[in-house]
Chains A and B, each alone.
Chain A
């Protein structure tokens, strides 16, 4: 098992390298870019643009730019004031040494800004995932145990609907109902807030925090509850027809023990795997939630970087995202091997 993990980790390195080359090329090869002033009223004068280009190192050929991005430029002379003369050594250390550069938007270190936003996304997604688990697992399990009952039919239909609802539309409808239409009967204010993590200028208050979570979490959760309850239902149905479940019944165990100890435990195994595989998409999905509810997280950060062509920020988030994907895949395989002793890797 240890050797298997080590081999997978070693395979991940060339793959991450390949992905980084492709992404770097995509981000940088396109015409336009941060200095074209696209979509803004204030255009940058051409001579000023030349200076900025030299300062940012954008005048160099792409492969050199990639090497600088990877390992830094403190080993080569750069043109720090943009006058066309390379006079001093660079200061960038490259992503391999943990330097993701400075954001073009506000000249803050990229990593600092990410460190600022990441906890907010983890907070939102953490709560969402807990709610998904609490709702989806019982729904799926009960609907399998009572296959073809009214409960099962309702859950199955709802899960089809939940998977077909576009996340962003659900968010709009939630805002419409709980912010625009329904009012708090005591204060006359909107029933639930439509944006932010807490009331502006207010200190930490648990009820205020919860109120701000309800709509974003509902929006983010529906599709995943639908998917996991459906997935668990079919897994449960498989397991319930296995020989060992019949054996458990035959030796006189109570139905409760059979279902929840013997069957559910085994039906959850594939769920853990698929959950690890889904983790990156779950986080990516928070992009819509964060945009709609002005949540200061990673999704919104990426959206701003993409609209403003903030190369260092885009690259940082993309690479972190790709690393996250690869880790999630690896975790899925490990979880599978760990939870299902029949699977052996060598």
Chain B
């Protein structure tokens, strides 16, 4: 076999392998993200832990104990088979209360993300897409909101809401707390979306869309927004963790969810009094906060790597 023949054979092999790759349907973005996500050990472990947590939070409905009704006969019992996390000063099962508290925390986390997206995405999109004075006004408002000392304002708002009668909802329930936290945390998303819109609106495919007469709102929603989904998902994932931390902090200070409704924060706050002799009261609720936030952070890290949000910006030359 001559050298030329060998080379020709290799060429042929190469072209065959290229062709066979082309034969496959192109992998969608979500497929790619999922494939990369699975390779991130932290993210997988985080998903498993969070999944178990969510499952037990759902299944706690079948717990033999009530989270709010006291049982004086079994006060302050240490962890045992009947009460894996022990009982509290009113004889309530701590495991049941912790899991019901988890419902509150996760609900607040998800609601805060929803509020963050509902405010942050439109503000960022409009500011970045239209620019000019609209951008200026919206960004000054964003800057002002970012300049608020957020923990202090959070405490102030929930202290006020604790004393106000609201229509339809109880005082300081999940919704009011989530709204308060959400109103103070949409700015990151707004800035992120604005930066991406600012960069992408200059690209040729947007000009092309303009030329064929696509409306502004359609360009924003159908042509630009899909390119920003990655960073938004990453930010939203991490935001769930921040929101859980903030809610439990507020409840710990007594400004959040009010007892007897259990939340991880107020369980910890109530534990302080009895903690030296009955440490299980303080250990388990905090452990739950810790576990849920660390798994959310690992998931967020995995999603970030999988999406590589900078890729979008790199492609448009922003970074």
Question: Which residues of the partner chain A approach B144 to less than 8 Å between Cβ atoms?
Answer: 15, 18-19, 22
Interface bits B274-285 vs A (CB < 8 Å: 1, else 0): 011001001101
Among A161, A306, A317, max chain B CB count under 10 A is at A306
> Quick one: which of A294-315 are within 8 Å of B by CB?
302-303, 306-307, 309, 314
Question: Which residues of the partner chain B approach A318 to less than 8 Å between Cβ atoms?
Answer: 149, 152-153, 156
Whether a CB of chain A sits under 8 angstroms from the CB of B186 is no
Given contacts A31-B164, A166-B249, A318-B156, contact A172 B151 (CB under 8 A): no
The answer to whether B286 touches A172, judged by C-beta atoms less than 8 angstroms apart, is yes
The answer to whether A168 touches B268, judged by C-beta atoms less than 8 angstroms apart, is yes
Q: Which of A96-104, A113-121, A255-263, A320-328 contacts B (4 or more CB under 8 A)?
A: A320-328
Residues of A contacting B: mostly:
helix
A side interface size, CB within 8 A: 48
Q: Which of B68-76, B229-237, B293-301 contacts A (4 or more CB under 8 A)?
A: B293-301
Whether a CB of chain A sits under 8 angstroms from the CB of B155 is yes
Picked from B165, B249, B282, the residue with its CB within 8 Å of the CB of A176 is B282
Picked from A160, A166, A285, the residue with its CB within 8 Å of the CB of B297 is A160
The answer to whether B155 touches A306, judged by C-beta atoms less than 8 angstroms apart, is yes
The answer to whether A329 touches B252, judged by C-beta atoms less than 8 angstroms apart, is no
Within the assembled complex, what's the spacing in Å between the Cα atoms of A19 and B145? 8
Whether a CB of chain B sits under 8 angstroms from the CB of A164 is yes
> What range describes how many residues of B lie at the interface?
35 or more
The answer to whether B163 touches A30, judged by C-beta atoms less than 8 angstroms apart, is yes
> Quick one: which of A317-341 are within 8 Å of B by CB?
317-318, 321-322, 324-326, 329
Picked from B163, B268, B275, the residue with its CB within 8 Å of the CB of A31 is B163
Nearest residue, chain B, Cβ from A285: B151
Within the assembled complex, what's the spacing in Å between the Cα atoms of A172 and B275? 8
Picked from A32, A38, A164, A291, the residue with its CB within 8 Å of the CB of B253 is A291
Given contacts A32-B163, A180-B276, contact A23 B153 (CB under 8 A): yes
The answer to whether B155 touches A30, judged by C-beta atoms less than 8 angstroms apart, is no
Question: Which residues of the partner chain B approach A36 to less than 8 Å between Cβ atoms?
Answer: 163
Whether a CB of chain B sits under 8 angstroms from the CB of A281 is yes
Picked from B147, B164, B248, B297, the residue with its CB within 8 Å of the CB of A326 is B147
Nearest residue, chain A, Cβ from B140: A15
The answer to whether B268 touches A302, judged by C-beta atoms less than 8 angstroms apart, is no
- Tell me the smallest distance from the CB of A154 to a CB of chain B, in Å: 14
The answer to whether B275 touches A176, judged by C-beta atoms less than 8 angstroms apart, is yes
Whether a CB of chain A sits under 8 angstroms from the CB of B195 is no
The answer to whether B289 touches A306, judged by C-beta atoms less than 8 angstroms apart, is no
Question: Which residues of the partner chain B approach A307 to less than 8 Å between Cβ atoms?
Answer: 159, 254
Picked from A38, A166, A176, A303, the residue with its CB within 8 Å of the CB of B248 is A166
- Tell me the smallest distance from the CB of B205 to a CB of chain A, in Å: 31
Nearest residue, chain A, Cβ from B279: A176
Nearest residue, chain A, Cβ from B277: A180
Given contacts A172-B275, A321-B149, A326-B147, contact A26 B156 (CB under 8 A): yes
The answer to whether B152 touches A19, judged by C-beta atoms less than 8 angstroms apart, is no
Whether a CB of chain A sits under 8 angstroms from the CB of B225 is no
Whether a CB of chain B sits under 8 angstroms from the CB of A1 is no
Nearest residue, chain B, Cβ from A302: B152
Question: Which residues of the partner chain A approach B253 to less than 8 Å between Cβ atoms?
Answer: 288, 291, 303
Whether a CB of chain B sits under 8 angstroms from the CB of A169 is yes
The answer to whether A172 touches B282, judged by C-beta atoms less than 8 angstroms apart, is yes
Whether a CB of chain A sits under 8 angstroms from the CB of B271 is yes
Interface bits B236-253 vs A (CB < 8 Å: 1, else 0): 000001000100110011
Question: Which residues of the partner chain A approach B249 to less than 8 Å between Cβ atoms?
Answer: 166-168, 288
Picked from B160, B254, B298, the residue with its CB within 8 Å of the CB of A26 is B160
Question: Which residues of the partner chain B approach A287 to less than 8 Å between Cβ atoms?
Answer: 151, 155
Whether a CB of chain A sits under 8 angstroms from the CB of B130 is no
Whether a CB of chain B sits under 8 angstroms from the CB of A280 is yes
Whether a CB of chain A sits under 8 angstroms from the CB of B308 is no
Question: Which residues of the partner chain B approach A32 to less than 8 Å between Cβ atoms?
Answer: 160, 163-164
The answer to whether A303 touches B155, judged by C-beta atoms less than 8 angstroms apart, is yes
- 5 pairs of A and B residues whose beta carbons are closest in the complex: A169-B286, A321-B149, A164-B294, A32-B163, A30-B160
Q: A321-B152, A329-B147 are in contact. List 7 more A-B contacts (CB 8 A).
A: A161-B294, A172-B268, A284-B149, A302-B152, A303-B155, A318-B156, A329-B146
A-B contact pairs, 6 of them (CB 8 A): A18-B144, A23-B153, A166-B289, A173-B286, A284-B151, A306-B155
